[in-house]
Structure formats: C-alpha cells, structure tokens
Amino acid sequence: MLFNSLDFAIFLPIVFILYWFVVGKNVKAQNILLVGASYVFYSWWDWRFLFLILFSTLVNYGVGLLLTKEKKRSRRKLYLFISVLTNIGLLGFFKYFNFFLENFVEAFSFFGMSFKTTTLDIILPVGISFYTFQTLSYTIDIYKKKLEATNNFIAFMAFVSFFPQLVAGPIERAVHFLPQFFTKRTFKKEQAIIGIKQIIWGLFKKLVIADSCAQYASEIFDNYQEYSSATLVLGVFYFAVRIYGDFSGYCDIAIGTARLFDFKLTTNFRYPFFSRNIAEYWRRWNITLSSWFRDYIFFPLGGSRVSRYKTIINVMIVFLISGFWHGASWNFIFWGFICGLLYVVFSFKSKKKHSYVTVNPNTLPSIRAFFEISLVFVCMAFTRIFFRTTSMEEAFSYLRQIAEFSIQLDYLGIYRYSVELIPLILVMLWLEWYSRNKEFPLFSVKPEILKTSMIILFILLFGNFEEVKQFYYFRF
C-alpha cells in the first residue's frame, strides 16, 4: 500500500479509530492491532512475503532470547552469527543472488572457463533492506549488551513490522524504538496535529515536487542520447530534487503517521540541500542509514581513532557497502566509491564541523555560505548520475555526452510542461531555509491553518494524481 494512494487514505483513519477508540486502553491490544494493520499494509503489495517478515521476526526474536540467557562467549558468537547469517542471507538471496552469479560467470569466463547458468527471476521484497537492518541492530545490540532481549513476541513483531516505516525506513534502533511498544500510549493532541501537518508536508514534497521532477528526469535519463549537454545537466538537477522530495517526503509521511499513534520515529532528513560540506551532507541525508553504517561498520573497523590512512580506508569501506546496499549493480558500488572519495576530500580539507543550523535561519546565506552550499549540491547531484542510470556504461555515456558542451536546451518529449515547477521548488527551498531550526517547515503545536491550507491548495492544484507513483526507495 502506498502512502499516496486512496487505499491508504481509507486504511489510516480506520486503523486510527480502532487504535484509539476500540483498543485504546490496552497496550497489548494496541500492539496486536498494529501487527495486524502492518501485515495488511504489507500484503497489499505481496502477501507471500509476509512469511519472510515472519521468519525474520521469529529468528531474531529467538536469537535475542538465547543471547540474553547465554553466558559463554563462543555460544553467544554462534547465536549472533546465526542472526547475521539469516538476515544477510535473506538480503543476499533476494537482492544480490543474480548479481553475484553473473559476476562469477564473467570472472571465470575472463580466465577462459565458461559456465552455463541461469539467473533466477527473483522479485525483490519491498522493504527487505530496511527491516533486515533493523532486526540486525536488535541482535547486535543484545550481543553488545546495550539492550535486553524482549520476551514479548507481539511487541517484537510490531517493532519489526510497524507499517509507517516498514518499507523504506527510517531504520529504527531497538534501543530507541522497542521500548515505545511497552509503554502506555496516550493520545497527545499536539503530537497528532504535528503528525497531520508532517503528512501534508510529505505529500507536498512527493506529489508536487518529486513526481513533477520525475517526469523531466525520467524523460532526460531514459533518452539521454537525444539531448544536449545543457539538457542533461538539467536532468541531473531534476533528479537530485526528485530523489530528495520523494525520499524525504516519504519519511515525513512515515514519521507523521507514527505520531498519530504516539510513536516517535527518528528524523531521517535535516535539510541536506543546505549542507556546506560533504560530511555535513551525510549527517543530514538518510540519517538513520548513515548512523547504522557508522555504528555497526565504521566504529567496529576502528572509526577515525586510527591512523589517517586507516580512517580513509574505513570511510571508503562504509561508502562502498552503502552503495552496494542501495542496489546490486556496479554503478551503485561506483556511486558509493565517488561519495566516499568526495567525503574524504572534503573532510580532510575542512576541519570545521557545521551544526545543523549553519547560518542564522532568519537570514539569507552569505556569499561564501551560498557558494559552499551550491558546491555541495552540485557535487552530490552529479554523483546521482551513477545512482539513476542502470549500468556503468550508461552512466559514463551520460557523462561523455555532458562533456560535449552543447548548450542549447531541447524541447523534451513530454506532453506536460510544468511551468509552475521551478517556482514551486523555490517555494519548498524558501520554506525549508527559514525552518532549519524546526523538524520540518510546518512544525508547530499551533494549528497554523493558513500556512497548512496553502500547502493543501498547492497539493490539490499542482499535485500529480494522474498515476500513483511508487516511492523511489521502495526498490532498495
């Protein structure tokens, strides 16, 4: 079920009413309802993969209990290994099987050995990359004794499958999220109003900004051979805005929805387009994934408390894995490599660490800050060429065509020219710029009817309702 569908618009009020008015006084019943709702939500896409979620839940729940009881280090390692193997195994099979198979065959054929293999027609289960990371963090944290295993299976099921963030994050840590399933939830008017406004803001970013940019970006990327360099550069920027509007819009809807049920999810985006260096950008973009990699890969490798050379290696390892996490193809790995490279260059160049509000939120940026922000945006937008294209050849071909420096802008092969798009992107950036000390631009306990109404008007008037477009990160 998609957040931007009529199905969800019906589903959400039903769950909300049942949650607060029917089972509102009983935490256990609320959890059972959430599990049921989450499974219905997920089965809207493909019910068969519910067994996968259930299997992952059972294994990690069991491993968690065993880890708590077991004192022997070797046994504890074995249990952790089972959990890691199960989670990574599921991910590996569904996401990476064909990639490895094809590359092994190619590698062997390079040495003159040929194999006859058939790739499997595997459907990637939506959200698998997200919930496997969430459950992995649970068992790892128990292993590290940062967390006690729960023996409440229903609460654990709800933690794994919580529908607002099941399919594309934010990736929650058990330490922060699981306790919320044990405490009594009370309806908080302010939180619910903020939740509604966050959903509206998310819908604005998805339906108005991302989906409109998507038609330009898709046309240019899918037919890049026909367009000039200037148009291809425009395609890069459209895609950068699209991916931001799409993913951060999704996260806003997820967090806003969770607020309606008195859950607090972790903020996943903090205005990344206003970052002044690459390191800052990654602290603001997909924060829960970045921090997952930091805590479970970067720190165990030694983090930055090792030699400069080793730190660079560690950073590169994290970014390569991050690239591979996004997609099972070389262009994603290369995307991770470039991002890592940029991170290293920018981090070692600049010693200054910017906070989230780097410039006074009530003023325009200085020329220097504007230049830095623009530079980071352009760099990150261009890395997305490897993210958007389907292969390395295509990505380099796209770049080669940009390097031809033909400056005329082409007439695109699309029917609808959204002349309002650029002003609307500017409206979004303007609202975000002056809201950097808030979680999102409409964040306020006051109803602020006028501001919210304007956003609703924009959604109705300029939103893309022609087809329900899937969120981009669902493919990961």
Partner 1 sequence: MRSFLKYTFLLLGFTLLVMIVLDLVFTTIYHTGAYRSKIMWVRDMEDTTAVDYVLLGSSRVNYGLQPELIEAKTGKKGYNLGMNATNMVETMALLEEFLNIRKTATVYVQVDIQYENKTPDPVGEIPWMPFLHEESVYKHFKGYGDQYSTYRYVPFYRYQKFATRLGAREAVASLLGSGYAYENSRGYMPLFGTIAEDKDFMPEQTVTTKNSLYTELIRFCKKKGIEVRFFTSPYYRFQGNIEKLGTFLPNYTNFSDSVAKRKYFSDQVHLNTEGARLFTEIFIETYFSEQP
By CB under 8 A, tell whether 120 contacts partner 1: no
Whole-angstrom distance, CA of residue 131 vs CA of residue 87:
9
For residue 215, the minimal CB distance to partner 1 (Å) is: 9
CB 380 within 8 A of CB 278: yes
- SS in 3 state form for 113-173? CCCCCCCCCCCCCCCHHHHHHHHHHHHHHHHCCCCCCCCCHHHHHHHHHCHHHCCCCCCCC
CB 69 within 8 A of CB 100: no
CB 381 within 8 A of CB 240: yes
Q: Which is nearer to partner 1, 64 or 463 (CB)?
A: 463
Q: Which of 305, 304, 347, 340 is nearest to 321 (CA)?
A: 340
Q: Which is nearer to partner 1, 30 or 56 (CB)?
A: 30
CB 135 within 8 A of CB 87: yes
Give the number of other Cβ atoms within 10 Å of residue 88's Cβ. 13
Query: CA torsion 463→469→475→476, rounded to 10°?
Result: 20
DSSP string for residues in 277-293: SHHHHHHHSSHHHHHHH
CB 322 within 8 A of CB 305: no
By CB under 8 A, tell whether 457 contacts partner 1: yes
- Whose structure tokens read 């959200």? 127
Please pick, from the candidates 46, 299, 461, 475, the single residue that binds partner 1 as defined by CB under 8 A. Answer: 461
Q: Which is nearer to partner 1, 390 or 453 (CB)?
A: 453
Q: Is 261 left (phi over 0), alpha (psi -120 to 50) or beta?
A: alpha
Please give the backbone phi and psi of residue 300, each rounded to the nearest 5 degrees, phi first: -60, -25
> Quick one: which segment of 60-68, 143-151, 236-244, 458-466 binds partner 1 (CB under 8 A)?
458-466
By CB under 8 A, tell whether 370 contacts partner 1: no
By CB under 8 A, tell whether 452 contacts partner 1: yes
CB 172 within 8 A of CB 265: yes
Please pick, from the candidates 3, 8, 19, 20, the single residue that binds partner 1 as defined by CB under 8 A. Answer: 20
By CB under 8 A, tell whether 403 contacts partner 1: no
Q: Using the 8-state DSSP alphabet, how is residue 206 labeled? A: I
Site residues for partner 1, 193-252, by CB under 8 A, read: 193, 196, 200
For residue 241, the minimal CB distance to partner 1 (Å) is: 19
Q: Which two tokens stand for residue 321?
A: 């894995």
By CB under 8 A, tell whether 465 contacts partner 1: yes
- CA–chain centroid gap for 86, Å, is 22
Q: Which is nearer to partner 1, 407 or 460 (CB)?
A: 460
Collapse the DSSP code of 366 into the 3-class scheme (helix H, G, I; strand E, B; otherwise coil) and give the result: coil
> Quick one: which segment of 36-44, 186-194, 235-243, 350-358 binds partner 1 (CB under 8 A)?
186-194
Whole-angstrom distance, CA of residue 435 vs CA of residue 357:
9
Where are any strands of DSSP class E within 185-281? Answer: none
Q: Which two tokens stand for residue 313?
A: 């290696």
For residue 200, the minimal CB distance to partner 1 (Å) is: 8
Q: Which is nearer to partner 1, 178 or 193 (CB)?
A: 193
Please pick, from the candidates 50, 192, 321, 369, the single residue that binds partner 1 as defined by CB under 8 A. Answer: 192
Q: Which is nearer to partner 1, 436 or 451 (CB)?
A: 451
Residues near partner 1 (CB under 8 A), total: 26
DSSP string for residues in 224-273: GGGS-HHHHHHHHHHHHHHHHHHHHHHHHHHHHHHHHTT--PPP--S-GG
Please pick, from the candidates 161, 198, 277, 464, the single residue that binds partner 1 as defined by CB under 8 A. Answer: 464
By CB under 8 A, tell whether 54 contacts partner 1: no
For residue 417, the minimal CB distance to partner 1 (Å) is: 7
Site residues for partner 1, 406-445, by CB under 8 A, read: 415-420
For residue 201, the minimal CB distance to partner 1 (Å) is: 13
Please pick, from the candidates 113, 403, 422, 449, the single residue that binds partner 1 as defined by CB under 8 A. Answer: 449
Q: Which is nearer to partner 1, 242 or 270 (CB)?
A: 242
The pattern of x and - marking residues 280 through 319 that bind partner 1 according to CB under 8 A reads: ----------------------------------------
Q: 71: which residues sit within 8 A by CB, 6+ positions away?
A: none
For residue 188, the minimal CB distance to partner 1 (Å) is: 9
By CB under 8 A, tell whether 456 contacts partner 1: yes
Residue in 173, 242, 259, 326 annotated catalytic: 326
By CB under 8 A, tell whether 189 contacts partner 1: yes
For residue 475, the minimal CB distance to partner 1 (Å) is: 25
Q: Which is nearer to partner 1, 22 or 457 (CB)?
A: 457
326 classed as catalytic: yes
Q: Which is nearer to partner 1, 409 or 457 (CB)?
A: 457
CB 64 within 8 A of CB 174: no
Please report, as ranges, the residues that interact with partner 1 according to CB under 8 A.
20, 187, 189, 192-193, 196, 200, 415-420, 447, 449, 452-453, 456-457, 460-466
Query: Could you give the residue numbers annotated as active site?
Result: 326
